[in-house]
Amino acid sequence: MELRKLLYVTDIEKPNFSEIEQLLILRKLGLDEILFLCPNRPEDWERRLGDYGLKSRRLKGEESLLQSILDAMQKEKISIVAASLRRENRKVLGLSRMRRLLRSSYIPVIVLHEGAKVSGHMENGIFHHCIIATDWSPVSETAINYLLNFREIIEVLEVVYVINKRLSVRDMRSLKQRLIKTRKTFLDRGIDAETHVYAGKTADEIMLAAKDYGVTSIIMGTSGKSFLKGFFSRSCSYQIAEKAAIPTFFIPFTGGSKGLNPICAMAQFGRDQGSENISGCKQNKER
């Protein structure tokens, strides 16, 4: 897997280059160009990125930031989005920009918070020491399979499962075996992984685990599909995206090998906006 193009999005007037530096570790996975959707990009950024061997350019956006992001995903064949949006400016028609982005995106999104500091080894990037939340649903399995490709840049991985209901002895035994199997999956791919069990409200416990282990980022799957209930509900993903004090990485559920194509994503965005559907989109159905 190669991550060739990264789209950096921000509404901050004076963005900090340190946010970009956190992401440069992705060069090990093939990153060679960073595109910008932002009010202002300091003149020396192109030179500084050139020193790292990266190409860069600024895109012209539409009036709607979210529409500009989706347009860029499709036209520029973006591999991953990194978004840094001011918290006070996130509300749009009663919903936050970040929620709309996560709902509509068919590619992975890194959420960077204004003023947030990365704990741990800053020089190694945001993927140095991560937490991935799992419940072995199709959503989380998609995230795990995607993350296996990050073995070159992840040094330590904490695998977290959150219990939010009473479990029987049989359930606990099954949970133990699943955790062992998941840990082995990562170890076999060269990723140093440990497993942990928390109990309580899912979003709160994931953020607590991140604090307990001093990780550099939180990773989880997400989906805008209403038929996917449970651990990775949209509300859980949104809470973490908006409240976490460290970068969060959301990997969208693709619905199978065909995935959610750009036209479908644009149609979903249109429905969220209350506009007409875009023709030619066939929704993936759970099998």
- DSSP letter string, 199-238: ES-HHHHHHHHHHHHT-SEEEEEE---TT--STT-HHHHH
- Please, what are the averages of pLDDT over each run of 10 residues along the chain (287 residues)? 90 85 94 90 87 93 84 94 74 62 91 62 79 93 95 96 93 96 97 97 95 95 56 71 90 61 41 38 37
Token pair of 127 as six digits: 């993927």
Burial 42-63 (b: 16+ CB within 10 A, else e): eeebbeebeeeebebeebebee
Token pair of 225 as six digits: 């599909």
Secondary structure letter of residue 20 according to DSSP: H
Of 63, 62, 51, the residue nearest 17 (C-alpha): 51
Domain locations in the chain?
Answer: 5-114+260-272, 122-252
Tell me what pLDDT residue 32 has: 96
Tell me what pLDDT residue 87 has: 63
Do residues 138 and 228 touch, judged by C-beta distance below 8 A? yes
Going 110 to 184 to 170 to 226, the CA torsion angle's sign is: positive
Q: Which CATH superfamily is domain 122-252 in?
A: HUPs (3.40.50.620)
Distance CA 59, CA 144 (A): 32
* 5-114+260-272 and 122-252, same CATH topology: yes
CATH of domain 5-114+260-272: 3.40.50.620
